Amino acid sequence: MQTTLEQIYELISEAEVDKALKKLQGALSMANSELVNDVVLLSAQYKKLQSDIRKGILDYNQETLASNRIVNSLLSLVDELKENPEIFDRFSKMEWQMEQTMMVKKRMELSENSKDSLFLRMAYVREKKLTLVALWIDGSPDANTYEWGMLVSLGVEFDRAESSAEALEKLQTNEYALVISDIGREGNPKEGLDFFQNLPEDKKRIPFIFYGGAFDKGRGVPPYAFGITDMPSELAHLVLDVLERKF
């Protein structure tokens, strides 16, 4: 979390107040902190100030005074958070899980803007308390430990299956709002895709997300599937899509 606070200080020093507020709002929302209300209020004040500046309502002195008040309030809030890092325990855990899975999967590091947007979206979904029960099919489930933890934090409850036979049995006996599946397993490099295409039509209506590294991106999303990716951040966005559309 120290890195995030340092980034916010840097944005403020570069007069990027809007970006600093956005980054802080995402972190505090994920942290379930009541201080997020202070950031939302400051954001509203800053947007109103920018609107007044565009309209020419304020003179230079008024503009400077209003801007300084917002910046000083933001700096005071960041200083307060610096003294109470435990507020960010939940956010820090989520951020760490994302960074670890990107590193383990050897994926390109997320840009700050992409990460901020993702965490703001996660915060919105968590605030709505959206939940669903999903089935994760993977022949090597331990390879997805960090992704698993990240999605559970968003409100997803998982069952696991390590083979197509086990997955079919669970699909026939349980109700799922989402299925995440690997692509290659059980000696077949496209077992996940074959399994999906051979399912009864009613089971194909469940949003299926394929997650793995062995697929041709040029072929796009498999017919009837909800999405396919090898990027942990894209997996998170796809699951957020399902959560938001389902409820």
Q: Using one digit for the tens of pLDDT, what is the confidence trace for 5-44?
A: 888 889 998 989 998 988 888 778 777 667 888 888 999 9
Q: Does the pLDDT at position 105 exceed 80?
A: no
State which of 142-146, 191-195, 242-246 shows the largest mean pLDDT.
191-195
Are the C-beta atoms of residues 123 and 26 closer than 8 Å to each other?
yes
| Superfamily of the domain at 130-246 | Response regulator (3.40.50.2300)
Task: Give the residue from 239, 45, 109 showing the smallest Cα distance to 37.
Answer: 45
**Amino acid identity, position 185:** R
Are the C-beta atoms of residues 71 and 18 closer than 8 Å to each other?
no
Q: Using one digit for the tens of pLDDT, what is the confidence trace for 136-151?
A: 999 888 888 888 888 9
For residue 127, what pLDDT is reported? Answer: 75
For 209, the token pair is 């997300």
pTM of the model: 0.74
Q: Using one digit for the tens of pLDDT, what is the confidence trace for 44-87?
A: 999 999 999 999 988 889 999 999 999 999 999 888 888 887 77
223-240 burial code (b ≥16 CB/10 A, e <16): eebbbbbbbbbbbbbbbb
For the chain, the structural domain boundaries read 2-90, 130-246
